[in-house]
């Protein structure tokens, strides 16, 4: 859940690269930051708070041919200067940064203390430089000492280390991502590509158990035994401009407005409008008697939607929270496909669930945004959503693209359904999203209800996941209480919370049975003096009972949720903006959750 950046190259550039890389990783969530540069001696500076605090504290004259930086999201010990990374050994000759959790750190720490080592932090990470120090004292080289320390660790980790008197940066991973950047005269290391994308678009993805060595623009990768590996160099399709704000006040607003383009990219070359068919190379020959989706957070809401589309087409399908699936998996049979939905492809709970499924002998599919991610590499198949980089912690364009990709999966697996009508609706979707972005009244609605005590979101059928997602967005970036419910469940308890200070956002499209019943639920809310905001295509009479209306174009029932969700994203954004929240970096949250 934290960020790592490393550089090996010109000594006068290292500090600038590290600080810029840390800024490029801010979206992952953090509460402290630090750097370590090796140039004969080892210079370490770290501070609690935002990167600006580190920039003020660090000596701008620091240099060195290698260096590492880190943004920390607290797991062991509260945010503080002492708990910030990098962590060092007793002598100050080894500095280490770490993402993940070392599960046996208590045992290791006790043994190290018995041997005379002193600790300055509450973190699990601090045992690593002391383990390295022990091995160095026994005559090991830096690389031998690093490998020796790693061999004693249990848990998940991405680790990088630099040493006084050495121009090498050493790194390894197990269950937490690391990627190398290959420049013309420098080599880079990071937990995610945006950290070094302004310097190079050539990357090498590390696998679990592999070790990297970076020195003055050169790099090598070896396995656990030390044997050199022939790793391929890939090119990242993103460019640095895609990870900039481009004139928007926040990344989240930029990414909401990028949805038409993201959806076009998701669909390009995958649907045939003339025949009404879907042709996705990654899904060719795919068959499944049943589908189990595993996901977390926003991706779980996309999974709920995906399971519903498959059930409607006659395929047995269920959605599970990945954290529950990993520890208490449901019964599984031959012919089951397990689909992991994860924006980053690095979500620890989702990876654990996919590995659990793979261990049970069934086929796995990653539905993800990131080429080269762990999920993409480990699953049998991968369906990329092609949304481009998403920097804001609160997912927006990736949710819309996940929903569209779920439709592609459904059409590929299902033997019956209304594929032609869905394909036609998907063709029109990007333009309809743009229409909403150009005309939405979300800012006015947000202004009216910004001081509410809480917010409720209701919907039926395909709109139930949208109600959950609308509530999650409101919670994530406004810090206000919000809940989403199936519309019919409101009267089974939650209605007790409804007052004239709790607006209810009702998603109602079409004029069928679901719409009619949801209108009935809206009447129940209205009778209790709660303000109603209808998100609707105007096909029902819900406007008659609404205090505010957020309109969406008419479309196929399976596509309407994407349009409704855009309106709810905008409402959450404008409420948060008026409250002055940290929209792109909500408190306590991270973009990529790499701990279980």
The residues annotated with a catalytic role in the active site are: 2, 591
Alpha-carbon span 323 to 342, nearest angstrom: 13
Task: Give the DSSP letter string of 211-240.
Answer: EEEEETTEEEEE-TTS-B--PPPEE-S--G
- Contact criterion met (CB below 8 Å) for 494 and 467: no
Task: Give the DSSP letter string of 394-426.
Answer: S--HHHHHHHHHHHHHHHHH-SSS-HHHHHHHH
Identify the H or E element spanning 526.
helix 513-526
- Contact criterion met (CB below 8 Å) for 354 and 366: yes
Q: Which residue carries 């609707």 as its tokens? A: 536
Q: Would you give the distance in Å from CA 150 to the centre of its chain? A: 27
Alpha-carbon span 247 to 253, nearest angstrom: 10
Residue 416 C-beta-side C-alpha neighbours within 13 Å: 5
Q: Which residue carries 């109600």 as its tokens? A: 467
Judging by beta carbons within 10 Å of its beta carbon (0-12, 13-18, 19+), is residue 228 exposed, middle or buried?
Answer: exposed
- Residues whose CB is less than 8 angstroms from the CB of residue 441 and which lie 6 or more positions away in sequence, other chains included: 548, 549, 550, 551
* Residue 555 vs residues 132, 408, 420, 422, 536: alpha-carbon distances, Å: 61, 17, 13, 9, 11
Task: Give the DSSP letter string of 149-169.
Answer: HHHT--EEEEEEEEETT---E
Tokens of 346: 């690095």
Tokens of 424: 């036609």
- Contact criterion met (CB below 8 Å) for 83 and 126: no
């Amino acid at each position: 859940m934290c960020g790592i950046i490393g550089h090996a190259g010109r000594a006068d550039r290292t500090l600038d690269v590290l600080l810029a890389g840390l800024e490029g990783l801010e979206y992952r969530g953090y509460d402290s930051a630090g750097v370590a540069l090796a140039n004969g001696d080892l210079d370490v500076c770290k501070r609690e708070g935002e990167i600006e605090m580190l920039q003020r504290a660090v000596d701008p004259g620091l240099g060195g041919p290698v260096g590492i930086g880190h943004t920390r999201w607290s797991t062991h010990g509260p945010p503080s200067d002492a708990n910030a990374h990098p962590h060092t050994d007793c002598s100050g000759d080894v500095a280490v940064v770490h993402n993940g959790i070392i599960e046996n750190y208590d045992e290791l720490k006790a043994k190290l203390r018995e041997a005379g080592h002193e600790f300055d932090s509450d973190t699990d990470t601090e045992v690593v430089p002391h383990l390295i120090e022990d091995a160095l004292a026994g005559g090991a080289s830096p690389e031998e000492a690093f490998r020796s320390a790693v061999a004693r660790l249990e848990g998940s980790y991405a680790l990088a280390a630099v040493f006084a008197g050495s121009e090498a940066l050493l790194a390894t991973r197990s269950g937490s991502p690391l990627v190398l950047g290959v420049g013309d005269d420098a080599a880079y290391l990071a937990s995610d590509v945006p950290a070094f994308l302004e310097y190079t678009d050539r990357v090498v993805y590390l696998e679990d158990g592999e070790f990297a060595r970076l020195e003055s623009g050169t790099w090598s990768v070896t396995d656990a035994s030390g044997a050199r590996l022939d790793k391929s160099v890939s090119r990242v399709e993103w460019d640095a401009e895609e990870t900039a704000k481009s004139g928007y006040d926040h990344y989240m607003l930029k990414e909401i407005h990028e949805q038409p383009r993201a959806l076009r990219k998701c669909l390009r070359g995958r649907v045939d409008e003339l025949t009404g068919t879907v042709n996705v190379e990654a899904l060719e020959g795919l068959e499944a008697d049943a589908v189990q989706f595993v996901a977390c957070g926003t991706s779980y809401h996309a999974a709920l939607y995906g399971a519903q589309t498959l059930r409607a087409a006659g395929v047995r399908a269920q959605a599970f929270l990945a954290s529950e699936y990993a520890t208490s998996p449901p019964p599984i049979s031959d012919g089951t496909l397990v689909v992991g939905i994860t924006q980053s492809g690095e979500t620890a709970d989702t990876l654990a669930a996919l590995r659990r499924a793979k261990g049970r002998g069934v086929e796995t599919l990653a539905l993800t945004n990131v080429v080269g991610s762990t999920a993409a590499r480990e699953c049998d198949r991968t369906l990329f959503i092609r949304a481009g980089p998403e920097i804001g912690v609160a997912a927006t364009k990736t949710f819309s693209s996940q929903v569209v990709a779920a439709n592609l999966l459904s059409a590929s697996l299902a033997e019956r359904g209304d594929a032609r009508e869905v394909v036609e609706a998907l063709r029109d979707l990007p333009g309809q999203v743009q229409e909403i972005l150009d005309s939405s009244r979300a800012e006015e609605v947000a202004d009216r209800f910004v001081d509410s005590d809480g917010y409720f979101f209701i919907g039926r059928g395909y709109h139930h996941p949208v109600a959950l997602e609308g509530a999650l967005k409101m919670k994530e970036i406004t810090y206000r209480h919000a809940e989403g419910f199936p519309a019919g469940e409101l009267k089974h308890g939650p209605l007790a919370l409804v007052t004239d200070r709790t607006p209810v956002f009702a998603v109602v499209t079409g004029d069928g049975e679901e719409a009619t019943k949801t209108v009935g639920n809206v009447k129940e809310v209205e009778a209790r003096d709660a303000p109603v905001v209808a998100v609707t295509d105007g096909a029902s009479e819900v406007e008659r009972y609404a205090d505010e209306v957020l309109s969406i174009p008419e479309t196929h029932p399976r596509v309407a949720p994407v349009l409704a969700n855009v309106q709810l994203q905008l409402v959450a954004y404008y409420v948060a903006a008026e409250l002055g929240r940290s929209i792109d970096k909500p408190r306590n949250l991270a973009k990529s959750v790499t701990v279980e």
